[in-house]
Structure 1
């Protein structure tokens, strides 16, 4: 029974036409909170937050869930996030929390995922699914940090809040999954507006930015 991973029924991983206009696409901007950064070993997911972006507008469609990490939340994480043990005590386990997040994405027919320093958040999802002996094909993803690098290649790395201030976008509750997802969503919309002024208007254009960065790494 446990020799093979169970594949989650996630149906939005199909390819889009590369010529699709960015303004015709929908995005899920999401963020995670964890018990720490050692997600490959002992740290665990404790919260997922997400917001739906449609036609390059941040909507009022949001998602938030805690996840029970089956371990104590370190004091410094509680200080940073304000998430305490009682918040996660009766929360769903990581697999159920992720399934609920996927359902939010599918309910909104989202085409792609967006995040800030997204590699970590997608790794959290993948590692928690791996522990639960599940697998899934994730959709295309875009990282606001990488897109900012394309616009301002000489800009030193900044905190999410500092980027939001630089781009003149809204800032929501920090170091909470939904708050950071909302901050990232507004930042993403402004980034896309600036990229469109440079002629980057389709999915193919956005993927070229991502692929060019991967080649340079």
Structure 2
């Protein structure tokens, strides 16, 4: 007998005309921290942070942060890197609850899409956390700042957020903190949007063309 998995709702604003100007769009810029990089097997989420961007402006008063209970020990190395301890996550929400909270915030703010730096990793983390709970992950629309950087400066080939932020003159918040990195990414994102505008890329359709992460990249 086949059991159909439930799908976690990830509804964001849909059916936006491709001609919609960027200044009329709202984005949820987010980041995650994990116990390591083997997210398909042993590693787990331990923090999610996010901030809202409207058009070309970061709204620091509209932020989201939660620790996540990974149901496993956090190594000393990860604690040294992130300053997240086992005590921080002991009473924290589960991964499913934390992801739902993030998506509820994005929906409440009428977000057009999610945005991240190397966002594929974060979306994979969500996918596998939900898979462990027998839930499907219907990927919402997402933009990757790496793709925008590839459009603006194709010779750049590193993924380090701080390096890019320094190169683009972006303010830098606390590293290896989900909220800190989300804020840094948000300001980098708005810098990139302005550079795209200078090159004539001013609409939702333009952003999808140069910055989107396709659902097919998440099918593995």
TM-score for both structures, normalised by structure 1 = 0.92
Contact 2:18 2:203 in 1 (8 A): yes
1:20-52 residue CA offsets vs partner (Å, 9 max, x unmatched): 111110000000100000000010011000000
Report the RMSD for the aligned CA atoms in angstroms. Answer: 1.9
d(CA) in 2 for partners of 1:212 and 1:182?
20
Runs of 4+ residues over 6 Å off in structure 1? none
SS state at 1:98 partner = helix
Pairwise CA distance, 1:19: 1.1
1:1-217 to structure 2, matched below 5 A, reads: 3-12=3-12, 14-59=14-59, 60-157=61-158, 159-210=160-211
Contact 1:195 1:201 in 2 (8 A): yes
For structure 1, which runs of at least 5 residues remain unmatched after alignment?
A: none
SS state at 1:30 partner = strand
Contact 2:144 2:212 in 1 (8 A): no
Contact 2:56 2:190 in 1 (8 A): yes
Contact 1:30 1:49 in 2 (8 A): yes
Q: Tell me: CA distance 1:172–1:211, structure 2 relative to 1, closer, same or farther (3 Å).
A: closer
d(CA) in 2 for partners of 1:198 and 1:10?
32
d(CA) in 1 for partners of 2:25 and 2:154?
26
For structure 2, which runs of at least 5 residues remain unmatched after alignment?
A: 215-220
Q: How many equivalent pairs are there? A: 213
Pairwise CA distance, 1:145: 1.3
d(CA) in 2 for partners of 1:180 and 1:114?
12
